[in-house]
Amino acid sequence: MSAELGHFALILAMLIAAVQATLPLIGAQRNMPTWIAIANPTAYVQFFLTTLAFGCLIHVYLISDFSVVNVVQNSHTDKPILYKIAGSWGNHEGSLLLWVFILALYGAAVAAFGRNLPPAFKARVLSVQAMIALGFYTFMLLTSNPFERVFPAPLNGQDLNPLLQDPGLAIHPPMLYLGYVGFSIAFSFAIAALIEGRVDAAWARWVRPWTLAAWIFLTGGITLGSWWAYYELGWGGWWFWDPVENASFMPWLAGTALLHSAVVVEKRDTLKGWTVLLAIIAFSMSLLGTFLVRSGVLTSVHAFATDPSRGVFILALLVTVIGGSLALFAWRGPQLKSTGLFQPISREGALLLNNLIMTTALAAVLLGTLYPLFIDVIGGAKISVGAPFFNAVFLPLMVPMIVAMAIGPFMNWKRGDILPALGRLRFTFLFALVAGAAAWSVETDGPFMGVIGIALAAWLGAGVIAEISERIHLFRAPLPESMRRLGRIPRSTWGMSFAHFGLALAIAGMAGAGGWKVESIQTMKPGETVNVGGYEYTFEGAQEGQGPNYTILFGKFTVRKDGEVFTVLEAEKRNYPVTRMPTTEAAIHTTLMGDLYAVIGDAEGDEGAYVTRIYYNPLVVWMWIGCIVMMFGGTLSMTDRRHRVGVPHKRQHSSASSDPVSSTS
Amino acid sequence: MRLFICLFMWTLLSALPANAVNPNEILADPGLEARARDISKGLRCLVCQNQSIDDSDASLAKDLRVLVRERITAGDSNDQVVNYVVSRYGDFVLLKPPFNLATLVLWLGPLLLILGGLTAAILFFRKNKKITAPASAPLTEAEKMRVAELMAEDNQ
């Protein structure tokens, strides 16, 4: 029953989306309040129906209804309940349902929380949202129905890929999609603004919290994925420049640029066209990511060509959305008149530099990701573009960006002065030099980029603190005065400081883990000891055990430092009998200075000896903390008062307009 | 993030737990071994998706790792080893593609883009200046007096 109910709800949702995509838009064009008023209820009903459909999918997973193909292919009765639920979105069809569910969720959120939006504008936004949704509903119902039945029903399922049976991975896709799909709001706002031919400070303020929300979730999603790779794949790597990673990183870069340029629109009424374009690009990158991952084009252009039904549909959707919105931009964009003027050396100039570097980095990642496909399609020699290329192009872009990041916040709006700003950063500069020298002295023939990374992290981190000190006139004004100023700093400014400081921490982590990793691979008999990164690891032997739906091999290590027992590590190797796949669970002991990381491999010979891989990964935890601090900064900024209450004068206005006549205007 | 591969592409092999470099492959000389690791990180595992032979546990990757170590032990320089592997498998094996006609756009694209962006920014500021120019015309006598008045007020 659930499957049919879910299927039916999906079809209804598609029909509702068709109504929502057209009537409110026409109503807004022709100024018909009753048609405009359709936007809100349709958004709510659409959300209700997708929630119902999504609930039905989870239900068929929970009851292990093996007459549904999707459940057969991705579940098993022995699977723990968490992964039965997570399994519903751990596959192509289910993840698409998650996609439209989140899209409808954002739509309903705009309907519910966008009370300060002009009704016609809101109607246009919700219509554009529904157009996107319509494309995805059609795609699902025509090519990827998650509720398809099978007859006769098999006795049990084929189980979920064991790598996905992990708590980190259970919440990773929803997080990532909340980010991806969140940019659809910025996109819809941009399209609605293009239709109206007007972008102003109020527009930038409306867009900002939604873009921030998407950015926070995307940051979280990328971090979770990275963290999972770190502990699960068993060699301590956390970023691989894999096409699917790039697919999530590109919208992040575009979204970060958008957040910065929207500030300029809000404060200075300029860079309007560019900001609208960035909003379109950010969501286009989300769609492109979906296309790259969903169509199978990454595995092989030829596989794509032999079974093209899904891929061609997404490609057509992609071309329609991106091409259509860019055409609209080309037509209406020139009408967006900017009034604010500014000098190259100014706060606006610094934000523009951020945009220039971010978009160039985005283009580099895009180029590197698509280039092998492109060469393959035009019939050239097959080439590979991997981590060494991306590092060679990306890192040189990031160095000037981090340098400028500490200076930018010191700049005045309109016209800044570089020399006084640099003067205020003299201690920051000294601190960066000392940090770099300290990193270099640890290992004098150590990695060049690692030392640069530590120095940059110190520069940025100290720069943030210097900026706050400057803002509160620390040591220049009496202390109570400084404290009073500290209390008056708006949340959005704290948001910036925290986000920048978080990035500084993350850079330190990346530099440490990338530069000074210690690795030791060997065969160990029980009782043998190796020294890795100043710690002595004694292998205590391996034991077998039983998990809920897998067997485990535990490898136990006693770790000593200076002869004292420091910790005991238990690395696991799991074997899932249904899929006959092994996974490794690295044993990790985190300290502030670095992670102790041990993995157990295959048995060697018959004396209880095993291949062991032991790593010391310096500063890794800084990376995770840094990402959390960045997200916290985003949250602070999102909850800034002026986003919560809308335009400052709006509040007085709303109390005055309690009579229904003026509120419809 | 490699999750996505397994989630959606089902190229499970590439995401299997790494049993990449095995103890029996490792060269006794740490210097030579470090060079081998370095070279391996730039060579692609031909049957995996975007994974270096250093990270992959595919048997073909193992063969290549052993081959790299054989060449190093035989006294080849790093470039000679890479050239040898490329001569057998083509440019496809390089994770950092060589700079040639086919990769011109790839390598120069980002550079051209940032130059284009800078040019656009310069043009933008030039245009701005033109608009500002009339605004910075000398003040009239009345305006000057008003400014003096305001300044005097401010100083009090």
- When scoring B3, B52, B104, B123 by the number of chain A Cβ atoms within 10 A, the one with the most, hence best to mutate, is B3
- Which is nearest to A171 in space by CA: A215, A213, A228? A228
CB contact under 8 A, B92 and A602: no
More confident: A17 or B145: A17
In angstroms, the CA A398 to CA A357 distance is 8
From the list B5, B17, B42, which residue is nearest A244 (CB)?
Answer: B5
**For A624-643, b where at least 16 C-beta lie within 10 A, e where not — what string?**
bbbbbbbbbbbbbbbebebb
pLDDT tens-place string over residues A428-471 = 999 999 999 998 988 777 788 899 999 999 999 999 999 999 88
> How many whole angstroms from its chain centre is CA A504?
18
Question: Could you report the per-residue pLDDT of A211-225, keeping only the tens digit for each?
Answer: 999 999 999 999 998
CA distance B83 to chain A (A): 15
Put simply, the chain B residues between 113 and 132 with a CB less than 8 A from any chain A CB are 113-114, 117-118, 121, 125, 128, 131-132
Tens of pLDDT, residue by residue over A173-217, are 899 999 999 999 999 999 999 999 888 888 998 999 999 999 999
- Encoding tokens for residue B46? 């031909």
- CA-based nearest distance A509→chain B, Å: 18
What is the reported pLDDT for B139? 75
Nearest one of B39, B114, B16, B78 to A234, comparing CA atoms: B16
Minimum distance, in Å, between the CA of residue B132 and any CA atom of chain A: 8
pLDDT exceeds cutoff 90 at B142: no
Q: Do B105 and A367 touch (CB under 8 A)?
A: yes
Q: Of A131 and A239, which is predicted with more confidence?
A: A131
Interface test with B, best of A242, A337, A415, A573 (most B CBs within 10 A): A242
| Long-range contacts at A398-401 (CB < 8 A, ≥ 24 apart) | A398/A357, A398/A361, A399/A452, A399/A456, A400/A357, A401/A353, A401/A354, A401/A357, A401/A358
CA pair distance B75, A565, nearest whole angstrom: 44
**What pLDDT is attached to residue A651?**
40
ipTM score for this prediction: 0.79
Given this model, what pLDDT does residue A229 score?
87
What's the gap between Cα A77 and its chain centre? 32
- The answer on pLDDT for A362 being more than 90 is yes
The CATH number assigned to the domain with range B3-98 reads 1.10.8.640
CA-atom Rg of chain B in angstroms: 30
Burial of A309 (0-12, 13-18, 19+ CB in 10 A): exposed
CB-based contact B131 A240, cutoff 8 Å: no
Residues of each domain in chain B carrying CATH 1.10.8.640: 3-98
Closest by Cβ to A235, choosing from B1, B18, B97: B18
Question: What 3-state class would DSSP assign to A618?
Answer: strand
Are B40 and A284 spatial neighbours (Cβ–Cβ below 8 Å)?
A: no
- What does the alpha-carbon distance between residue A96 and residue A138 come to, in Å, rounded to a whole number? 11
Round to whole Å and give the CA distance between A150 and A157: 12
Question: Up-side HSE of residue A406: CA atoms within 13 Å toward CB?
Answer: 28
Inform me whether the C-beta atom of residue B51 falls under 8 Å from chain A C-beta atoms. Answer: yes
Instruction: Judge whether A159 and A77 are in contact, CB under 8 Å.
Output: no
Inter-chain residue contact B42 with A381, CB threshold 8 Å: no
The answer to whether B12 contacts chain A (CB < 8 Å) is yes
A268 at B interface, C-beta within 8 A? no
B144 reaches A (C-beta below 8 A): no
Mean pLDDT in chain A? 88
Is the CB of residue A507 less than 8 Å from the CB of residue A529?
Answer: no
A225 touching chain B per CB within 8 A: yes
User: pLDDT by residue (tens digit) across A253-263?
Assistant: 999 999 999 99
pLDDT greater at residue A201 or residue B10: A201
The pLDDT assigned to A500 comes to 96
**Of B6, B42, B95, which is closest to A164 when you measure between CB atoms?**
B6
CA neighbours closer than 13 Å in the CB half-sphere of residue A473: 11
Residue A642 or residue A99, greater confidence: A99
pLDDT for residue A63 is more than 50: yes
A515 pLDDT higher than 90: no
CA distances in angstroms from A349 to A212, A242, A271, listed in the order given: 22, 33, 11
Instruction: Check residue B94 and report its DSSP letter.
Output: B
Residue type, A630: M
Provide the percentage of residues in chain A whose pLDDT is more than 70: 95
Q: A522 or B155: which carries more pLDDT confidence?
A: A522
Q: Does B18 touch chain A (CB under 8 A)?
A: yes
CA-nearest residue of chain B to A362? B110
Indicate if the pLDDT at residue B80 is higher than 80: yes
pLDDT over 70 at A240, yes or no: yes
Q: Is the Cβ pair A357, B114 closer than 8 Å?
A: yes
Is B19 at the interface with chain A, CB within 8 A?
yes
Which chain B residues touch A92 with a CB distance below 8 Å? 8
Average pLDDT rounded to a whole number, residues A150-162: 85
User: What pLDDT does A561 receive?
Assistant: 92
Q: Does A376 contact chain B (CB < 8 Å)?
A: no
Task: Give contacts of A356 with chain B, Cβ < 8 Å.
Answer: 114, 117-118, 121
CA A464 vs CA A401, A473, A500, A649: distances in Å = 14, 14, 7, 31
Q: What's the gap in Å between the CA of B33 and the closest CA on chain A?
A: 12
Q: What's the pLDDT at A299?
A: 64
The reported pLDDT for the residue numbered A662 is 34
Which among B10, B17, B103 has the least Cβ separation from residue A383? Answer: B103
Residue A303: the pLDDT is 57
Residue range A63-74: mean pLDDT, rounded: 90
Query: Which of B1, B105, B117 faces A360 most closely, judged by CB atoms?
Result: B117
Phi then psi for residue A402, to 5 deg, are: -65, -40
**A167 versus A58: which is more confidently predicted?**
A58
A286-290, A629-633, B65-69, range with greatest mean pLDDT? A629-633
Q: Could you give the CA distance from residue A437 to residue A383 in angstroms, rounded to a whole number?
A: 40
Strand bridging mode A609-618 / A518-524:
antiparallel
CA distance A163 to B14: 12
Work out the minimum CA distance from A304 to partner chain B, whole angstroms.
Answer: 12
What's the average model confidence in pLDDT over B28-56? 84
pLDDT of residue B131: 59
- Any B CB within 8 A of A615 CB: no
More confident: A665 or A579: A579
Q: Is A234 on the interface with B (CB under 8 A)?
A: yes
Under 8 Å CB-to-CB from A69, ≥6 apart: which residues?
A: A148, A149, A150
User: Does residue A626 belong to the interface with chain B, where contact is any CB pair within 8 Å?
Assistant: no
Give yes or no for A169 touching B (CB within 8 A).
yes
How far apart, in whole angstroms, are the C-alpha atoms of residue A256 and residue A626? 16
Average pLDDT over residues A320-324: 94
- On chain A, the residues whose CB falls within 8 A of the CB of B42 are 388
Cβ pair A125, A73 in contact under 8 A? no
Inter-chain contacts counted by CB atoms under 8 A, chains A and B: 186
Which of A264, A283, A140, A136 shows the shortest CA–CA distance to A203? A264
pLDDT tens per residue, range A608-636: 889 899 999 999 999 999 999 999 999 99
Looking at residue B5, what is its pLDDT?
38
**Residue ranges of the alpha helices (H) in A443-522?**
448-471, 479-488, 491-515
Q: Give percent of chain B with pLDDT exceeding 70.
A: 79
What contacts B113, CB < 8 A, 6 or more positions away?
A: A359, A360, A363, A364
A523/B23 Cβ within 8 A: yes
As a whole number of angstroms, the distance between CA A224 and CA A319 comes to 30
Q: Which of A214-218, A420-424, A578-582 has the highest mean pLDDT?
A: A214-218
Question: What are the chain B neighbours of A389 within 8 Å (beta carbons)?
Answer: 95-97, 106
Task: Check residue A36 and give its pLDDT.
Answer: 94
Q: Is the pLDDT of residue B135 over 60?
A: no
Q: What is the pLDDT of residue B130?
A: 65
Task: In whole angstroms, give the CA distance from residue B154 to residue B15.
Answer: 69
- pTM (2 d.p.): 0.90
**Mean pLDDT for the stretch of residues A54-63:** 95
Spatial separation of the C-alpha atoms in residues A109 and A279, rounded to whole Å: 19
> Which pLDDT score is estimated for A300?
58
Q: Chain B within 8 Å of A41 (Cβ-Cβ)?
A: no
Q: Are residues B7 and A342, on separate chains, in Cβ contact within 8 Å?
A: no
pLDDT confidence of residue A5:
95
Under 8 Å between Cβ of A103 and A133: yes
Mean model confidence pLDDT for chain B: 78
- For residue B136, the model assigns a pLDDT of 53
Cβ of B9 within 8 Å of Cβ of A371? The answer is no
| CB-nearest partner of A384 from B41, B44, B55 | B44
- pLDDT at position A664 is 33
Residues 6+ apart with CB under 8 A from B44: A384, A386, B50, B51, B52, B53, B92, B93, B94, B95
Do the chains contact at B113 and A169, CB–CB below 8 Å?
no
In three-state form (DSSP H/G/I as H, E/B as E, the rest C), the secondary structure along A388-407 is: HHHHHHHHHHHHHHHHHHHH
* A225 touches A245 (CB < 8 A): yes
Alpha carbons A274 and A216: distance in angstroms, whole number: 22
- Reduced to 3 states (helix: H, G, I; strand: E, B; else coil), residue A195 is helix
pLDDT of A246 higher than 80? yes
